[in-house]
């Protein structure tokens, strides 16, 4: 699992069966199965609100589609939310 923050900061951890990992609040993470067997991954959150829709909407659609293996209609649907405007100075 790689956990990433702003400014290009990231750390990668190699977990084994039965290990528990932690992702700090507001940091992204990426899971990659590097083994030969199927991966069973359980993710839990203390939050009652999950803001993945905003994160996906602010990611280039081509990247979302390629990484999640989505068709065009699904990609359009998940990247349509633009709840908070991007401010570039």
Task: State the Cα–Cα distance between residues 77 and 74, nearest whole angstrom.
Answer: 5
List, for residues 6-25, the tens digit of each pLDDT value: 777 889 999 988 899 998 87
Whether 43 is a known active-site residue: answer: yes
Q: What is the mean pLDDT of residues 76-82?
A: 76
- Checking if the pLDDT of 49 tops 70, the result is no
Long-range contacts of 28-33 (CB under 8 A, 24+ apart): 28/3, 28/4, 28/55, 29/1, 29/2, 29/3, 29/4, 30/1, 30/2, 30/4, 31/1, 32/1, 32/2
List, for residues 34-47, the tens digit of each pLDDT value: 989 998 888 887 77
Give 3-state DSSP helix, strand, coil % of the chain, rounded to 5: 25, 10, 65
Among 19, 36, 37, 43, the active-site one is 43
Confidence label for 79 from pLDDT (cuts 50, 70 and 90): confident
pTM of the model: 0.56
């Amino acid at each position: 699992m790689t956990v990433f923050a702003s400014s290009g900061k990231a750390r990668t951890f190699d977990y084994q069966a039965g290990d528990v990992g932690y992702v700090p609040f507001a940091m992204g993470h990426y899971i990659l199965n590097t083994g030969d067997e199927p991966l069973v991954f359980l993710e839990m959150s203390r939050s009652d609100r999950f803001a993945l829709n905003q994160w996906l909407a602010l990611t280039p659609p081509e990247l979302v589609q390629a990484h999640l293996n989505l068709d065009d209609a699904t990609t359009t649907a998940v990247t349509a939310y633009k709840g908070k405007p991007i401010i570039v100075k």
